[in-house]
Structure 1
Amino acid sequence: MKRGIWAALAVLPFVAACGGGSDGPCKQLTSAGWVACTPSTTPPKVDTSIPEGIWGGGTSDGLAVSTLVLETGQYFIVPTSTSGIGLVEGMMSGNNGNISDPAAVIYPASNVPVAGTLSGSFSAKKTLTGTVSANAALSSPFPSGSMSSTFNGNYNSLYDSPATIAEAVGSWTGQTSGSTVTLTVKSDGTFNGANSGCTFSGTVSPRSTGKHVLDGKITFNNGACVLGAGASMTFEAVVNGNQLAAAGVTSQRDHAFVVLATKN
């Protein structure tokens, strides 16, 4: 999915100079000469059109679900059950507390993606509800045979504090799509791990937004990995105490990487 980038060029009507010494307080040059700067009393605008943040809740059929919405609008919805981990990924837009995505991709535990849509509503930093509708019958951990699943979430204020690599350092054991995964994260942000004969390595670093998210890149090292030796993808991770959740998709959105793990 490609997103356009808009750049704006501003024409400066005056020059401002701020400094100490004999210059005194901040001044600006106008047609009447140098006058005192007028400080702005307008607070910076906060974009509340999408439910940016970390959300924890459940699905209509009783599964636990974790949701991460980035400032870009990209989101990861991760439902879990004893039979596996699923994922819904996409790019949402919002308007007056409502959210939608006409091009969501749903990844059941089998990792065979299904096209779908997302719709829902939210109250900023409070609650989130939504429905994921599929173009084909869903399978575990989603309600098998169903064409939709509803979910909810409560805002986790952890999102508002910066993430650190130190939180992730250590050894972890958890679950990926139907199998056990182990990984070790070092103090420099590098990691390595394995699941079902597939070995992998990569790096994590704090997201530049200052939110509680780690940006990561994973590279698969051998032929036992689904994507083959040398393939890589980016992902996002959240550490909350001794719990780690990570999710990402390939650029073609045909495969996903999702892990829930506990620190050993």
Structure 2
Amino acid sequence: MEFFKKGSGMYGKKAAFSTLAILLLALEGCGGGGGGGSSASAPPPASAEGAYFGTMSDGRQHYSLVLENGQIYTLYGNTGSNNVFAVSGFLQGNGSSNNGSFSATDVKDASASGSVTAGALSASYVAGSSFNGSLTEGTSVVSFTGAPIGGAIYNYNTAANLAGVTGNWSLSSLRGFPTTLNIAAAGTFSGISSGCLFSGTIKPRSSGKNILDVSLTYGASPCILAGASLNGIAISYALPNGQQELAIALIDQTRTGTSAFVGVR
């Protein structure tokens, strides 16, 4: 089964590649003076943290993950007839939430060609209910809408289950190369992608949410990113046909080198 294929991307220039909500409510009280009366202000909006699924104005779909530290990862692509989400690229940025508005001005858009395009993302949100906005890259603007992901598919608010992803995976890389990955029970992994060897670690995120933190180091040539170390996240979610999809998105410290892998078992 093919999960990745070459084609157009977010702006018609990407190569296609076959991926929540916690409410952080703080109450502010204010004491009255004189007569000893008191009043309470309305609670401020919670952060945009969570997982959202929706559509984009370029005809694609997206899974967007806003993490507890403001980082955003967006996997974009389309759902095929077999209900597998075929990813054609991903976004990564460092943003912040403020009174129902989310902004990330340093977004990187990773394509299957290996290029990384700078952009900015802004959105309005109702925590746990909606995440709607736009991505701007140069003169190109793509708008999007987002709603919570059904808990039966993916529940951001449960702890990540490392045991659920251990074992062997047959994946495809962002650039379309077949990839074999073996994840040990302790969270170490090794893999090979078209002759390129790599290894690393995968572990549940310390936030207690359903995110796996991933660190990966590539070996020597023929690896395109020979010797590079990348960090990112992985998510695993159920498909309607009973299978499980694993998606991994990675970026290096300079935010110029990216990798991603997706597969179903």
Query: Above 0.5 in TM-score?
Result: yes
Deviation at 1:123, TM superposition (A): 1.3
Indicate the larger mover: 74-83 or 209-218. 74-83
1:238-257 superposed matches below 5 A: 238-241=235-238, 242-257=244-259
* Residue 149 (str. 1) matches residue 151 (str. 2): no
Gaps of 5+ in 1: 1-44, 137-146
Deviations 1:124-179 (A, max 9, x none): 1112112111027xxxxxxxxxx122223222350110012101112222332231
Residues 44, 99 of structure 2: 8 Å contact kept: no
Indicate the larger mover: 168-177 or 80-89. 80-89
1:35-74 superposed matches below 5 A: 48-49=46-47, 51-74=48-71
Query: After the TM superposition, which parts of structure 1 deviate over 6 Å for at least 4 consecutive aligned residues?
Result: none
CA distance in 2, matches of 1:199, 1:181: 10
- 2:38 counterpart residue number: none
Residues 85, 176 of structure 1: 8 Å contact kept: no
Residues 76, 90 of structure 1: 8 Å contact kept: yes
CA distance in 1, matches of 2:44, 2:220: 45
- 1:19 counterpart residue number: none
SS of the aligned residue for 2:163 comes to: helix
Residue type at the aligned position of 1:151: F
Residues 45, 100 of structure 2: 8 Å contact kept: no
**Aligned mate of 2:118, from 115, 128, 133:** 115
The 3 A distance-change label for structure 1 pair 155 and 111 is same
Residue type at the aligned position of 1:104: V
Deviation at 1:215, TM superposition (A): 1.0
Deviations 1:27-68 (A, max 9, x none): xxxxxxxxxxxxxxxxxx99723x212222232222231111
CA distance in 2, matches of 1:196, 1:46: 51
TM-score of the pair, normalised by structure 1: 0.72
Residues 95, 104 of structure 2: 8 Å contact kept: yes
Residues 214, 231 of structure 2: 8 Å contact kept: yes
- 1:91 counterpart residue number: 94
RMSD (Å), alpha carbons: 2.3
Larger-Rg structure = 1
Residue type at the aligned position of 1:134: E
CA distance in 2, matches of 1:239, 1:206: 12
CA distance in 2, matches of 1:217, 1:172: 17
The alignment-based identity, stated in percent, is: 32
TM-score of the pair, normalised by structure 2: 0.72
Residues 45, 99 of structure 2: 8 Å contact kept: no
- 1:78 counterpart residue number: 75
Residues 84, 176 of structure 1: 8 Å contact kept: no
Deviation at 1:248, TM superposition (A): 2.0
Residue type at the aligned position of 1:201: S
CA distance in 2, matches of 1:130, 1:226: 34
Residues 84, 109 of structure 1: 8 Å contact kept: no
Gaps of 5+ in 2: 1-42, 81-85, 239-243
1:1-264 superposed matches below 5 A: 48-49=46-47, 51-80=48-77, 85-135=88-138, 147-156=140-149, 157=151, 158-179=155-176, 180-229=178-227, 231-241=228-238, 242-263=244-265
CA distance in 1, matches of 2:45, 2:261: 30
Deviations 1:214-256 (A, max 9, x none): 1111111221212213x21111111113111111211110011
CA distance in 2, matches of 1:153, 1:198: 36
The 3 A distance-change label for structure 1 pair 108 and 224 is same
